Amino acid sequence: MKRIRSYTVLVWLLFVGGLLAQGAFAADPPFPEVSPAEQGVRAETLREMSAWVRKENYDVRAMLLLRRGHLIFEWYSDGITRDHNHNTFSVTKSVVGTLVGCAIKESKIPSPATTLNELFPNSPVLATYPAKAKMKIADLLTMRGGLPVTRGNKPKNDPQRILFDQVHEAEERNRFVLHLPLERVPGESFAYNNNEPQLIAGILEQLYNEDLLPLGQRFLFHPLNFENVAWRFPDKTGNYPGGYGLRLRALDMAKLGQLYLQQGKWNGEQILSEKWCKEATSDQTGTGYGYYWWTEKGSQGELPFAAKGVRGQRIYVDPQKELVFVLTSDLPQDQVPTITKKLIEGFVLKAVASDSPISEKPGEMDQLKAELTLSKQYRSPRRQGLPGNRLPQAP
């Protein structure tokens, strides 16, 4: 048994070394790179996942799998590398929510129960809208602010899309959203949209007198050593959207998931409080939604949770299995639930065989190596003609 495991590790190290020599991986990986078997995961199932993506011609750009903080699977298609960033779409919301957690940790915001009036007692705008003055930070973080719904993935003539375009094109988005009429009583009902995170973005920018990008760099991107970060679509005042627009490397998306899996601790530093990490990934609404993280109904932070973006962007975290799975892609929106469920439940979770190291079948690592080589040459025909903002971008 020990001889088989030693052979597995040797093959994997040779495999990783070969990729490094080819420039497939950037230097200095943030996670120890080991074989799947060393973390109790079957390489064969991961190989099957890659082959399935290619067989179905899905436009998947990156897939990463961490277990217990070890990088055991790193997959890229069509010449994409670790250094490319990706349009994360609504994964942006989870990052913005994380910045709120950082603000709470340093007492800039006392707690999620803090009202807007408590943060800005002298605001003439809030004096005009007493219902908004009583709105809590938690109402906004859980999509229960009562603001009208805006959705950028609706048809052009849909009222939610029309309002989304109006907000997006506003010279000063934060002020535009703050003046929108309420459609529901704050704190009462969940309605997923982009206005609540835009208002959260405005609150953070007002409290710190900084835009989201430098705030993100200070609190999150620099401490976790994010690279090639970009935040698109600033308005005329230079403020960024709170619900979309952030571009991240897949590896850095994995770091965010791992940060929450580690209860907010990174390299010995407590970036987020344990209390925040549990609350943010617990069901706060009765619908399976936390603080800009999707989770399962009734969860108290112990069940799987995810950051999600349209067209198949995912940071999936399973606390019990101690794994983080990242997906970046451009999938048909009506097929996203089916495809992502197949990837996660049909392959990733199925691949987890044990909490202890397992032995590989002879030749299994060679087969995975060959499959990953094929994946780097694979280009989905569905990528043809896509605009630049929907493609991975090198530094």
Domains of the chain (ranges, CATH numbers): 2-85+310-390 (no CATH), 91-247 (3.40.710.10)
Question: Look-up: residue for tokens 């340093």?
Answer: 106
pLDDT at residue 255 in the model: 98
Of 67, 102, 96, the C-alpha closest to 321 is 67
Summarised one tens digit per residue, pLDDT across range 67-123 is 999 999 999 999 999 999 999 999 999 999 999 999 999 999 999 999 999 999 999
pLDDT at residue 61 in the model: 98
Summarised one tens digit per residue, pLDDT across range 129-167 is 999 999 999 999 999 999 999 999 999 999 999 999 999
Counting every residue written for the chain, the total comes to: 395
Q: How far is CA 182 from CA 151, 185, 204, 385, in A?
A: 16, 7, 21, 40
pLDDT at residue 30 in the model: 82
pLDDT at residue 29 in the model: 63
Of 86, 85, 76, the C-alpha closest to 22 is 76
Q: What is the pTM of this model?
A: 0.93
